[in-house]
Amino acid sequence: MQLLDFFTTAYPVQVRKPASTVGSSLLAFALILGAGLTQASTVAYEKVELFQDESIFTENFEITEAGSYLATLTDFEFPSAMQKTGMNITTTSEMLGSLMAPGSFTFEATPGNYFLSFFGFADASSSTMLGQYGIEVRMTEMPEIPIPAAVWLFGSGLLGLIGIARRRKAV
Protein backbone atom coordinates (compact mmCIF):
# COMPACT_ATOMS: atom_id res chain seq x y z
CA MET A 1 0.00 0.00 0.00
CA GLN A 2 1.44 3.36 -0.98
CA LEU A 3 1.58 6.24 1.46
CA LEU A 4 -0.92 8.34 -0.53
CA ASP A 5 -3.45 5.47 -0.63
CA PHE A 6 -3.06 5.00 3.13
CA PHE A 7 -3.93 8.65 3.87
CA THR A 8 -6.91 8.76 1.50
CA THR A 9 -8.45 5.62 3.00
CA ALA A 10 -7.53 6.39 6.61
CA TYR A 11 -8.55 10.04 6.44
CA PRO A 12 -11.32 10.45 3.87
CA VAL A 13 -11.74 13.98 2.61
CA GLN A 14 -15.12 15.43 1.83
CA VAL A 15 -15.06 17.57 -1.26
CA ARG A 16 -17.35 20.56 -1.02
CA LYS A 17 -19.13 21.93 -4.01
CA PRO A 18 -17.64 25.33 -4.92
CA ALA A 19 -19.80 28.36 -4.30
CA SER A 20 -21.77 29.54 -7.28
CA THR A 21 -20.40 32.49 -9.19
CA VAL A 22 -23.76 34.23 -8.83
CA GLY A 23 -23.56 33.95 -5.03
CA SER A 24 -19.97 35.21 -5.10
CA SER A 25 -20.99 38.11 -7.32
CA LEU A 26 -23.82 39.00 -4.95
CA LEU A 27 -21.40 39.02 -2.02
CA ALA A 28 -19.00 41.26 -3.97
CA PHE A 29 -21.91 43.61 -4.79
CA ALA A 30 -22.86 43.82 -1.10
CA LEU A 31 -19.26 44.60 -0.15
CA ILE A 32 -18.98 47.30 -2.82
CA LEU A 33 -22.29 48.81 -1.77
CA GLY A 34 -21.29 48.76 1.91
CA ALA A 35 -17.90 50.30 1.17
CA GLY A 36 -19.54 53.12 -0.74
CA LEU A 37 -21.82 54.02 2.16
CA THR A 38 -19.11 54.38 4.81
CA GLN A 39 -17.10 57.53 5.21
CA ALA A 40 -14.70 58.70 7.88
CA SER A 41 -15.92 61.64 9.94
CA THR A 42 -14.38 65.02 9.18
CA VAL A 43 -11.88 66.43 11.67
CA ALA A 44 -11.77 70.22 11.34
CA TYR A 45 -9.16 70.89 14.06
CA GLU A 46 -6.99 68.87 16.42
CA LYS A 47 -4.09 69.67 18.69
CA VAL A 48 -2.22 68.02 21.56
CA GLU A 49 0.36 69.94 23.57
CA LEU A 50 2.58 69.36 26.57
CA PHE A 51 3.37 72.73 28.16
CA GLN A 52 5.12 74.19 31.19
CA ASP A 53 3.43 76.70 33.52
CA GLU A 54 0.71 78.00 31.18
CA SER A 55 -0.56 77.92 27.62
CA ILE A 56 -2.82 80.62 26.20
CA PHE A 57 -3.58 81.02 22.50
CA THR A 58 -6.14 81.77 19.80
CA GLU A 59 -5.89 79.97 16.45
CA ASN A 60 -8.07 80.11 13.37
CA PHE A 61 -9.23 77.02 11.49
CA GLU A 62 -11.43 76.35 8.50
CA ILE A 63 -14.61 74.30 8.29
CA THR A 64 -15.31 73.03 4.78
CA GLU A 65 -18.66 71.23 5.26
CA ALA A 66 -21.87 72.51 6.81
CA GLY A 67 -23.25 70.48 9.71
CA SER A 68 -23.09 69.75 13.43
CA TYR A 69 -19.66 69.69 15.05
CA LEU A 70 -18.45 68.36 18.39
CA ALA A 71 -15.66 70.27 20.16
CA THR A 72 -13.83 68.27 22.84
CA LEU A 73 -11.26 69.46 25.41
CA THR A 74 -9.31 66.74 27.23
CA ASP A 75 -6.97 67.12 30.21
CA PHE A 76 -4.60 64.13 29.93
CA GLU A 77 -3.56 64.69 33.58
CA PHE A 78 0.08 64.18 32.66
CA PRO A 79 1.96 64.36 34.93
CA SER A 80 -0.95 65.73 36.94
CA ALA A 81 -4.30 67.43 36.29
CA MET A 82 -4.26 71.05 35.18
CA GLN A 83 -5.20 73.64 37.75
CA LYS A 84 -7.52 75.52 35.33
CA THR A 85 -8.40 75.05 31.68
CA GLY A 86 -10.99 76.20 29.18
CA MET A 87 -11.69 76.95 25.55
CA ASN A 88 -14.22 78.57 23.24
CA ILE A 89 -15.04 78.61 19.54
CA THR A 90 -16.22 81.78 17.81
CA THR A 91 -16.72 83.45 14.49
CA THR A 92 -15.68 87.08 14.17
CA SER A 93 -19.10 88.09 15.53
CA GLU A 94 -20.62 85.15 17.46
CA MET A 95 -19.73 82.80 20.36
CA LEU A 96 -20.57 79.22 19.33
CA GLY A 97 -19.67 77.43 22.55
CA SER A 98 -17.31 77.45 25.51
CA LEU A 99 -15.95 75.24 28.29
CA MET A 100 -14.41 76.15 31.64
CA ALA A 101 -13.29 72.57 32.35
CA PRO A 102 -12.55 69.45 30.27
CA GLY A 103 -15.63 68.29 28.36
CA SER A 104 -17.38 68.85 25.06
CA PHE A 105 -20.09 70.86 23.33
CA THR A 106 -21.79 70.83 19.93
CA PHE A 107 -22.40 73.68 17.52
CA GLU A 108 -23.77 74.21 14.02
CA ALA A 109 -21.37 75.50 11.38
CA THR A 110 -21.33 76.49 7.74
CA PRO A 111 -18.18 76.56 5.60
CA GLY A 112 -15.86 79.37 6.67
CA ASN A 113 -13.20 80.51 9.14
CA TYR A 114 -13.57 79.94 12.88
CA PHE A 115 -11.47 80.79 15.93
CA LEU A 116 -10.53 78.56 18.83
CA SER A 117 -9.22 80.16 22.04
CA PHE A 118 -7.64 78.08 24.82
CA PHE A 119 -6.13 78.62 28.23
CA GLY A 120 -4.52 76.07 30.52
CA PHE A 121 -2.56 76.42 33.75
CA ALA A 122 -0.43 73.59 35.05
CA ASP A 123 -0.78 72.47 38.67
CA ALA A 124 1.37 74.92 40.66
CA SER A 125 1.85 72.39 43.46
CA SER A 126 3.59 69.88 41.15
CA SER A 127 7.37 70.02 40.98
CA THR A 128 7.44 69.94 37.15
CA MET A 129 4.63 72.47 36.53
CA LEU A 130 3.69 70.55 33.38
CA GLY A 131 0.29 70.01 31.81
CA GLN A 132 -0.98 68.21 28.72
CA TYR A 133 -4.23 68.77 26.86
CA GLY A 134 -5.93 67.71 23.65
CA ILE A 135 -8.47 69.56 21.53
CA GLU A 136 -10.54 68.09 18.72
CA VAL A 137 -13.30 69.58 16.58
CA ARG A 138 -15.07 66.87 14.56
CA MET A 139 -18.22 66.70 12.44
CA THR A 140 -20.88 64.70 14.30
CA GLU A 141 -23.25 63.79 11.48
CA MET A 142 -22.16 62.81 8.03
CA PRO A 143 -24.09 63.90 4.96
CA GLU A 144 -25.95 61.22 3.03
CA ILE A 145 -23.93 59.70 0.22
CA PRO A 146 -25.92 59.09 -2.98
CA ILE A 147 -25.64 55.66 -4.57
CA PRO A 148 -24.86 55.98 -8.28
CA ALA A 149 -27.35 54.57 -10.77
CA ALA A 150 -24.67 52.18 -12.06
CA VAL A 151 -24.62 50.37 -8.71
CA TRP A 152 -28.41 49.90 -8.81
CA LEU A 153 -28.19 48.68 -12.41
CA PHE A 154 -25.42 46.23 -11.46
CA GLY A 155 -27.52 44.92 -8.55
CA SER A 156 -30.62 44.38 -10.69
CA GLY A 157 -28.49 42.52 -13.25
CA LEU A 158 -27.18 40.23 -10.50
CA LEU A 159 -30.69 39.51 -9.30
CA GLY A 160 -31.62 38.57 -12.88
CA LEU A 161 -28.66 36.17 -13.04
CA ILE A 162 -29.75 34.58 -9.77
CA GLY A 163 -33.23 34.04 -11.21
CA ILE A 164 -31.79 32.40 -14.34
CA ALA A 165 -29.52 30.15 -12.26
CA ARG A 166 -32.48 28.99 -10.13
CA ARG A 167 -34.57 28.18 -13.21
CA ARG A 168 -31.75 26.05 -14.63
CA LYS A 169 -31.52 24.12 -11.34
CA ALA A 170 -35.27 23.50 -11.34
CA VAL A 171 -35.26 22.13 -14.91
Average pLDDT, 10 consecutive residues per value, the chain (171 residues)? 48 47 49 49 92 96 95 94 96 97 96 97 91 96 64 80 82 70
Residue 112 in any domain: the answer is: yes
Task: Quote the domain boundaries for residue 152.
Answer: 20-39+145-170
Residues 154, 125 share a domain = no
Residues 80, 56 share a domain = yes
Residues 102, 76 share a domain = yes
Residues 118, 48 share a domain = yes
So what's the pLDDT on residue 146?
A: 61
Measured CA to CA, the distance from residue 139 to residue 171 in angstroms comes to 55
So what's the pLDDT on residue 113?
A: 97
Residues 102, 55 share a domain = yes
Identity of the residue numbered 114: Y
So what's the pLDDT on residue 168?
A: 81
- CATH code for position 104: 2.60.120.380
Q: Helix 149-170 vs helix 21-37: angle between axes, to the nearest 10 degrees?
A: 160
So what's the pLDDT on residue 68?
A: 94
From 34, 42, 64, 72, select the one nearest 141 (Cα to Cα): 42
Residue 15 in any domain: the answer is: no
Span between the terminal Cα atoms of the chain, in Å: 44
Measured CA to CA, the distance from residue 10 to residue 155 in angstroms comes to 46
Residues 107, 30 share a domain = no
> What's the number of domains the chain is made of?
2
Residues 133, 86 share a domain = yes
Residues 157, 114 share a domain = no
Residues 117, 50 share a domain = yes
Residues 112, 48 share a domain = yes
Residues 122, 50 share a domain = yes
Measured CA to CA, the distance from residue 13 to residue 126 in angstroms comes to 70
Q: Is the full-model pTM beyond 0.85?
A: no
Indicate left, alpha or beta for 112 from its phi (over 0: left) and psi (-120 to 50: alpha).
left
Residue 97 in any domain: the answer is: yes
Residues 125, 93 share a domain = yes
Torsion over CA: 86, 91, 93, 96 (sign)? negative
Residue 2 in any domain: the answer is: no
CA distances from 127 to 50, 57, 99, 162 (A): 15, 24, 27, 72
